[in-house]
A and B are shown apart, each in its own frame.
Chain A
Amino acid sequence: MLPILVAEDEPPIADLIRLTLTGAGYRCVVAHDGVQAADLIEGQEFALAVLDIMLPQVDGYELLEYLQTTGTPAIFVTAKAAVADRVRGLRLGAEDYIVKPFAPAELVARVETVLRRTGRGNARLRAFDVELDPVARRVWRGGQEVHLTPREFALLELLLRNRGVVLYRDVLYERVWGADDDTDTRTLDLHIRRLRQKLGWRRQIRTVFRVGYALLNEEDLPAGGEGTP
C-alpha cells in the first residue's frame, strides 16, 4: 500500500501522528514544512495526506491544491476550530477535518474512513484465518461470516490493531465500554471468552494475568495450538 504523507511543522505532533498511524499498520512519510511536503508530493505517490494548515512557507491550503492535481485525498489537522475555517477547508476539497487536540484513535478512524471512501485502502484487518472490515463492521473466519455483538467487534478491532502488544485491562475496558460505564471489568473477561469461542482462538489471544490481553503474531504462537480441534 502507498504511504501516507504527514505534513506538520511541530515535531511533537508530527511524531505523534507518525507513531499512531504506524501503530495502525500504515507507512508514513513526514514533512516538516510546506516546501518539503510539496517536493515529496511531486516526487512520489501517496495514499493520503494529513496536512497541518499553518505550515511555514507553503500552507496547507496550497498543498491541498497540489494534491488535487494528483487526486490524492487529504485530511486537515489543525488548531483552528472556528466553523468558518472548517467550512473553508472542506469546501476546498479536503476529505475531513480534525481539530487539535485529537485522540489517536479518532485520527486512525478518520484516516481509515477516508481511505475506504476514496477506494484507496485495503482497510481489512487480518490475523490467522480471521478477517475484519472496520468500515462495513463485518468479520469472517475462513471465508465464513461470523456474527459478533458491537462490543465483541470493538474488542476484536482493538486487538487486531495492536497485534503483538499487551493491552491493559482498564484501558481496554474504557475504550470499548466508555469511561463512564462502571460495570464490573469482569465483563471484559466474559467477552474475551466469547471471542475465543466464536473465532476458535484458544491461544491466539493471550491472557497476561492481572495486566491485560494480547493478540499474538503468527510466529509467536506456540506449536500445536493451531485453532480449534
Chain B
Amino acid sequence: MKFADKLTLALTLLLAALLTAYNIWTLDRQFTADLRAAAEQAQTAWQQERYAMQTGLESRAGLLPWAASYQSSHGGQPLLLGVFAGHDTLYNTLPATLGRQELDAALDGAGQPRVTVVRDVNGRYTMLAAGVVILPDGALTLAHGQSLDGVWAARGERLRTALAAGAVLLALAALGCRALCRRLTRPLERLEAASRQIAAGDYGRRTALHTGDELASLSASFDEMADAVQEKIEQLQGHLRERDDFVAAFTHELKTPITSMLGYADLLRGAEPTPETRQLAAQYIYHESQRLEVLGGKLMALMQLDGAPPALAPVALDTVLRRLRRALPPGAPVPELPACGAAVLADADLLTDLLYNLIQNARAATPPGGRVWVEAAEEGGRVRLAVRDTGCGIPAADLPRICEPFYRVDRSRARRRGGNGLGLALCARIAQLHGTQLEFESAEGRGTTVRFALSAAPQEVKCDADAG
C-alpha cells in the first residue's frame, strides 16, 4: 500500500470519528431541547386544563359533560386527557396502548405536577404531565398526554440527514486528502526513482529537492551519498581502465618480440637456410629475447615498487652521483654531474635508478654534440634536482602522457635505441614513493628539463651547484 494511501486512510478515519462524535453530540442536544420544549408545552397545557377544570367544575359529577365541552371547545385533534380519582379512572382519552402500570408509575405520588415520558407497548412514547386538581368535593388527578412521535420522527430525520451529509463530506474529504497526500509524498517518489536509477547504473542522477523540510535535508544527504558513490565508482573504473590499458599495452608490447622469435625460429628449424638468413634470424632472435628480458626486469621492478614503500634514510647526494658516474655507459654526450654536499631523505638505490634513467633518456634525445647535465640546489629544507638536455625536446601534446607505461613519443626511434616504454613510468613511480613528482619542461628542438624535489636530510651541509 502506498504511503500516500495510508495517510489518506488514516486521515479519513480520523475525520469520520470526529464527524460522528460531533453528530452524536448535536443530535443529542437537539433531541434534549425538543423533549424539554415538549415538556414545557405539556406543562402549560396541563396548567390550562387545571385552570379550566377548577373554574368550570363544581363537583366531579359534572366531569364528563365538562370534558366533552372542553374537548369540543378546543377543536382539532382530541386532547389526550385522563382524570383519575385514586385508582379509578373517571375520564380517559389517553392512548389505550399505554399500560396501566406505566400510567400508575407516571401518576404515582402526583402531589406536585410533574412530567414523565411513558413508553407504550408499541414502543411509542408519550409525554404525560400529571398533577392534582382540588375540586370542592375532593382532589382528582389530572393527566395531560402528548404524543412524542413528532420528536422521535424529527430525531430520525436529523440522523438520516447527518448520515447522508457525513458520507458525502467524508468522500470529499477523502478525495481532498488523497490529492494532498499525493502531492506531499511526490518528493518521496522522486527519491525512490533516483535511487532506482542509481542502482541501475546511472550514477550521475541527483534528487535536488527544495521543499524546505526534512525531505529536503534527506534529499541533500542522499545527493551527498550519491556524489560519494559516483566518485568512488569513477575512481574504481579509472583504476580498472588504467589496468586494462596497461595489460593491453603490455600484451601489445609482447607481440613484436614474440612474433619475431617464433617466426625466425620457424624459419630456421624448417629447412637448411642460407647463411645470411641464418645470421639475420639469429640476430633478431637474440635481440628480441634480450628486449623481453629487459622488459621483464623493468616490469618486476615496477611491480615491486607497488608493494611496500621503501624506507627513506639520509643519503649523501655525492654518494649517489659517484655511483652514477661509475654506472653510466661511456659515449657522447657525456653527462655533467655536479659536486654536491647535500644529503636527502631517499632510498639510495631507487634514487640512483631514477637519475640513471632520466640521464639515459636525456642522452638518447640529445645529439653527440649537445649537452646533458644535472643541477642540484638546496632551498628551504628541500633539495631541488633537475636533469637537463639540449636535445630534440618533447612535443607539447605528448607531455601529459609520457609517464604512462609503454607510451612513446616516437615508437620506431625508441625501439632502435632499445627503449621498452617503461623507463619513465618507473621514474614517475620512484618519484611518487619519495613524495614528489616529475615536472617536465620542454621546447621542441631546444631541449628538455625534468625537475623534482626531495626532502633534505636534517644535516648541515653546503651545496655548490657547479657542474662537474
- Which residues of A come within 8 Å of B, CB atoms? 9-10, 12-13, 15-16, 19-20, 23, 32-33, 54, 56, 79-80, 100-105, 162, 165-168, 171-172, 175, 212
Contact = CB atoms under 8 A, between A and B. Distances in A.
A9 B251 CA distance: 18
Interface string B196-207: 000000000000
B412 interface: yes
A9 B411 CA distance: 9
A101 B263 CA distance: 8
A166 B259 CA distance: 24
Majority SS of interface residues in chain B? Answer: helix
A19 B284 CA distance: 13
Contacts of B288: 12
Interface in B242-279: 251-252, 255-260, 262-264, 266-267, 269-273, 277
21 contacts: A9-B411, A9-B412, A12-B257, A12-B259, A12-B284, A12-B288, A15-B284, A16-B264, A19-B267, A20-B263, A56-B412, A79-B256, A102-B263, A104-B263, A104-B266, A167-B271, A168-B269, A168-B271, A168-B272, A171-B269, A171-B270
Contacts of B280: 15, 19
Looking at A100, A103, A167, A168, the one whose CB has the most chain B CB atoms below 10 A away is A100
A168 B284 contact: no
A16 B259 contact: yes
B256 A12 contact: yes
Contacts of A212: 271
Interface string B269-311: 1111100010011001001100000000000000000000000
Given A16-B264, A56-B410, A10 B415 contact: yes
Contacts of A80: 252
Interface residues of B, number: 28
Looking at B255, B262, B273, the one whose CB has the most chain A CB atoms below 10 A away is B255
Contacts of B266: 103-105
Interface of B: 251-252, 255-260, 262-264, 266-267, 269-273, 277, 280-281, 284, 287-288, 410-412, 415
Contacts of B287: 12
A212 to B, nearest CB: 8
Contacts of A33: 412
A126 to B, nearest CB: 19
A225 to B, nearest CB: 22
B263 A16 contact: yes
Contact of B255 (A79, A104, A171): A79
Contact of A175 (B262, B270, B284): B270
Given A101-B258, A103-B263, A162-B270, 15 more contacts: A9-B412, A10-B256, A12-B284, A12-B288, A19-B280, A19-B281, A54-B411, A79-B252, A103-B262, A165-B271, A165-B272, A167-B271, A168-B269, A168-B271, A212-B271
